[in-house]
Chain A
Amino acid sequence: MDAASEAGFREFVESRSGVLFRTALLLSGGDRGAAEDLLQNALIKAAGRWHRLDEPEAYVRQVLYRQQISRWRLRRLSRERVVAEPPEPGGAAAGGDPAHDAELRVVMARALRRLTTRQRTMLVLRYYEDLPEAEVAALLGCSVGTVRSTTRRSLDKLRAVSPELASLTLRPPRTPEPVREEQLSEVKP
Chain B
Amino acid sequence: MRVEELVRRSLHHMADTDALPEPGLAGRVLRTRRRRRARGLTGAVVAVAAAATVAVAGPLTGPGAGGGGPATSPQRDVAGRPGESPPRQLIAAGDVAVSAYHTRRTEDLPGGDTVEIRNWHLYDPDTGRYEETDWAWLDVAPGMRTAAVLEKDLPADRIGLLDLASGEVERWIPLDRGGVGSVEFSPDGERLLATAYAHNPDRRFKDASYPLNGDEVPGAKPGRTGFYVIDADSGDASFTALPAGAAPGFSTDPTNGREDLSWSSDGELLWEHWSYEPGRLYYDLSGERAGRPVPEKHVSDPGAGLSPNGRLVGGAPAGEGGGGAAAVLDAKTGERVAKVPARQLLAWADDERLLAWGCGSGGCRDSESPDRLVLVSLDGDTVVPLSGARAGNGGDAGRWVPEFTER
What residues make up the interface of A, taking CB atoms closer than 8 Å to B?
A: 1, 6, 9-10, 13-14, 17-18, 21-23, 25-26, 30, 32-37, 39-40, 43-44, 47-48, 70-71, 73-78, 81-82, 86-91, 93, 101, 104-105, 108-109, 112, 123-124, 127-128, 130, 155, 158-159, 165, 169, 183, 186-187
Interface residues of B in 1-24 (CB under 8 A from A): 1-4, 6-22
Which of B29-37, B273-281, B353-361, B384-392 has 4 or more CB atoms under 8 Å from chain A?
Answer: B29-37
In the complex, B168 has a CB within 8 A of chain A: yes
Instruction: Supply 21 A–B pairs (Cβ within 8 Å), ascending by A.
Output: A18-B20, A23-B15, A25-B17, A26-B15, A40-B28, A74-B170, A78-B163, A78-B165, A81-B166, A86-B14, A89-B13, A89-B17, A104-B9, A105-B10, A105-B14, A112-B10, A123-B7, A127-B8, A158-B3, A169-B1, A186-B2
Q: With A10-B26, A93-B9 given, can you name 17 additional A-B contacts, CB distance below 8 Å? A: A1-B30, A13-B26, A13-B29, A25-B15, A30-B14, A33-B70, A36-B21, A40-B32, A43-B26, A74-B171, A78-B163, A86-B14, A105-B14, A108-B14, A109-B10, A128-B12, A158-B3
- The answer to whether B25 touches A13 (Cβ under 8 A) is yes
In the complex, B48 has a CB within 8 A of chain A: no
Q: Closest CB of chain A to B160's CB: distance in Å?
A: 12
**Best-buried of B1, B18, B146 by chain A (most CB within 10 Å):** B1
Q: Which 5 A-B pairs have CB atoms at the shortest separation, nearest pair first?
A: A108-B10, A90-B16, A33-B73, A13-B26, A87-B17
Contacts of A187 in B (CB 8 A): 3
- The answer to whether A76 touches B170 (Cβ under 8 A) is yes
Distance, CA A90 to CA B3, complexed state (A)? 22
**Best-buried of B10, B28, B145, B164 by chain A (most CB within 10 Å):** B10
Distance, CA A71 to CA B12, complexed state (A)? 24
Q: Which of B13, B21, B33 is A47 in contact with, Cβ under 8 Å? A: B33
Known: A33-B72, A78-B166. A39 touches B21 (CB 8 A): yes
Distance, CA A155 to CA B11, complexed state (A)? 13
Q: Closest CB of chain B to A51's CB: distance in Å?
A: 14
Distance, CA A155 to CA B146, complexed state (A)? 30
- The answer to whether A78 touches B32 (Cβ under 8 A) is no
Interface size on B, residues (CB 8 A): 48
- The answer to whether B1 touches A78 (Cβ under 8 A) is no
Which of chain B's residues has its CB closest to A90's CB? B16
In the complex, B232 has a CB within 8 A of chain A: yes
Distance, CA A112 to CA B9, complexed state (A)? 13
Which of chain A's residues has its CB closest to B1's CB? A169
Q: Closest CB of chain B to A174's CB: distance in Å?
A: 13
- The answer to whether B19 touches A48 (Cβ under 8 A) is no
Which of chain A's residues has its CB closest to B29's CB? A43
- The answer to whether A128 touches B8 (Cβ under 8 A) is yes
Which of chain B's residues has its CB closest to A1's CB? B30
Contacts of B145 in A (CB 8 A): 37, 75, 78
Contacts of B27 in A (CB 8 A): 10
- The answer to whether A36 touches B22 (Cβ under 8 A) is yes
Which of chain B's residues has its CB closest to A94's CB? B9
In the complex, B176 has a CB within 8 A of chain A: no
Which of chain B's residues has its CB closest to A166's CB? B3
